[in-house]
Amino acid sequence: MWGLVPLFWPLLKPAGAVEILAHRMVWSLVFVGIALLALRRWSWIPELVRSPRKLALITVAAAVISVNWGLYIWSVNTGRVVEASLGYFINPLVTIALGVLVLKERLRPAQWAAVGVGFAAVLVLAIGYGQPPWISLVLASSFAIYGLVKKKLNLGGLESLAAETAVQFLPALGYLVWLGTQGTLAFGSEGAGHAALLVSTGIVTAVPLVCFGAAAIRVPLSTLGLLQYLAPTFQFLLGVLYFHEAMPPERWAGFSLVWLALTLLTWDALRTARRSRAAMAVASAEAVASVEAASIEAASAAPKVHQGR
């Protein structure tokens, strides 16, 4: 669904990117609120309200994801789908860099190599464009910061989206009201079908996130990480094959370097996961052997105690 969403945003024209963003914020809260009401998941709200730190993190998350959503919508509707897809391809590399800079995490050699190759890719693309690929960099950075804030917040996906859109709701609604007073609001002026599409931005936002949250507790993390590459892959293919965006040699070179970096990351993640499973299996076998040895020792000692008596 995330990979095919570039097909959806152009349907909302002539609404501008900011108006679409505002509708996305307003209607997302409506649909997430309905979902929470149906699931009766309200117990987290009092705890959140009593925590100034969590409220501050929610506000930061809402601001950062607003930048990400708005820029992505604008990119798609101005013919920059390929560049937007690059942002989500390099997002894992930016996330790793943030882990080093902010969380002081230590990288394995393969991860360092992947970050280095990703940096080279950005340089190649910057030279090709004549300027840094700012759309890709802002999308990748904003989503990486969003992930970092969510990590510190430690709130469920549906609950987090509800809290974030609650922060966004009043400014977004105020902007839509202001557009209405100016006579430039697209909602309702392009027919019922167009209005229904704008309302459905809430569904388009909430449903993939709910599915992701459900998958996260059912699918191994290594598999989930690989599946997340599908979204930018679909976006890239749509940009090239459906929207017919240009792919000059320097862009192919930059993308190839990014894919090489992601291949290194994937290989390293799978290798680390296999080693972890092997280590756990060895530890489990040693624990079983230890228990069996203790049982045998206890059994052999029991007759001696009986004879002593």
Give the tens place of pLDDT for each residue, 224-262.
667 778 888 899 999 999 999 988 888 888 888 888 888
- The pLDDT confidence band at residue 146, using thresholds 50, 70 and 90, is confident
* Least confident among 72-81, 120-129, 137-146: 120-129
- The pLDDT confidence band at residue 90, using thresholds 50, 70 and 90, is confident
**123 close to 34: Cβ distance less than 8 angstroms:** no
The DSSP-derived string for 96-144 is HHHHHHTS-PPPPHHHHHHHHHHHHHHHHHHHHHTS--HHHHHHHHHHH
pTM, whole model, 2 decimals? 0.81
**81 close to 239: Cβ distance less than 8 angstroms:** yes
d(CA 264, CA 134): 24
Nearest Cα to 221, choosing from 184, 169, 276? 276
d(CA 24, CA 17): 10
Higher pLDDT, 253 or 156: 253
